[in-house]
Amino acid sequence: MGCVAWIANDQGIESNVYIDDMFSVDVDDDIDFYEPYGGLYPTAQVKTLRLWDEINLPHESDKQLWGRSLTVIGFEVDPNAMTFTMPEDKLRVELLAGVREFCRVMGRRHQLHTFMSLAGWLNWAFNVYPLLKPALSRVYGKIEGKENPHTGISVSQGIINDLNWFSRHVENSSGIHLLEARDW
């Protein structure tokens, strides 16, 4: 996708890349009709789609999202409010319930793959809660050097305290506000 973005930028189409997705920012009233999908889209997006057509890069209409705010990898991105937030929906509720279940009984043992799954889930959440990364320090200390996914590992009081700290902050935080983060 990097090469495609380079071609787009070379042709005057301003775009950015995140992993395998291209995106750009446009003003509200700068829209154009894209005939193959029979709808209106931001002009920069239409130019990108036409470039993709020209180089025979496949794309799908249901992946051509646009609007004042978008859901990206499960997070609400609002460029007007300059925020990245985790929606108050099922994902946030499931994350907090999963952390609580993991911590439910002190001295409880979980298998390595459960520790790793929890760590992955929290790492995803760190996209909007980057200052909560210390919550995983003890978790990483516990799993360090272990390879068998079925190895039982005890959950210490320190891990429980760290994960409860994480949960309290997620419950009370709305996410990243770019102006505040920049000033911070």
pLDDT in tens, 68-110: 888 887 888 888 888 888 877 777 889 999 999 999 876 689 9
Residues 175 and 103 in one domain: yes
Domain count for the chain? 2
**β strands within the chain, DSSP E:** 16-18, 21-23, 31-34, 39-42, 70-72, 75-78, 83-85, 109-111, 152-154, 176-177
Residues 167 and 104 in one domain: yes
Q: Tell me, what's the pLDDT at 117?
A: 96
Residues 179 and 95 in one domain: yes
Note whether 13 and 51 are within 8 A (CB): yes
Residues 32 and 95 in one domain: no
Tell whether the model's pLDDT for residue 180 goes beyond 70: no
As a whole number, mean pLDDT of residues 105-116 equals: 88
Q: Tell me, what's the pLDDT at 181?
A: 55
Q: Tell me, what's the pLDDT at 183?
A: 53
Residues 130 and 60 in one domain: no
Q: Tell me, what's the pLDDT at 92?
A: 82
Q: Tell me, what's the pLDDT at 158?
A: 95
Q: Among residues 33, 67, 101, which one ends one of the domains? A: 67
Residues 33 and 116 in one domain: no
Would residue 171 count as lying in a domain? yes
- Greatest extent of the chain over all pairs of C-alpha atoms, in Å: 61
- Cα separation of 166 and 134, whole Å? 9
Would residue 52 count as lying in a domain? yes
- Cα separation of 180 and 165, whole Å? 22
Residues 95 and 155 in one domain: yes
Residues 108 and 52 in one domain: no
Q: Tell me, what's the pLDDT at 28?
A: 77
Would residue 50 count as lying in a domain? yes
State how beta strands 39-42 and 31-34 pair: antiparallel
As a whole number, mean pLDDT of residues 110-129 equals: 94
Residues 97 and 57 in one domain: no
Residues 97 and 24 in one domain: no
Q: How confident is the model at residue 29 (pLDDT cuts 50, 70, 90)?
A: confident
Would residue 141 count as lying in a domain? yes
Q: Tell me, what's the pLDDT at 121?
A: 93
Q: Among residues 52, 67, 82, which one ends one of the domains? A: 67
- Residue 161 half-sphere exposure toward CB, CA atoms < 13 A: 5
Q: Tell me, what's the pLDDT at 26?
A: 77
Structural domain of residue 30, as residue ranges? Answer: 2-67
Q: What is the mean pLDDT of the chain?
A: 86
User: Tens digit of pLDDT for each residue in 134-171?
Assistant: 999 999 999 999 999 999 999 999 999 999 999 999 98
Would residue 14 count as lying in a domain? yes
> Which CATH number do you get for residue 106?
3.30.70
Residues 94 and 161 in one domain: yes
Tell whether the model's pLDDT for residue 184 goes beyond 70: no
As a whole number, mean pLDDT of residues 55-73 equals: 85
- Cα separation of 8 and 48, whole Å? 7
Residues 165 and 105 in one domain: yes
- What tokens does 77 get? 């991105």
Note whether 22 and 8 are within 8 A (CB): yes
Would residue 85 count as lying in a domain? no
Would residue 84 count as lying in a domain? no
Would residue 83 count as lying in a domain? no
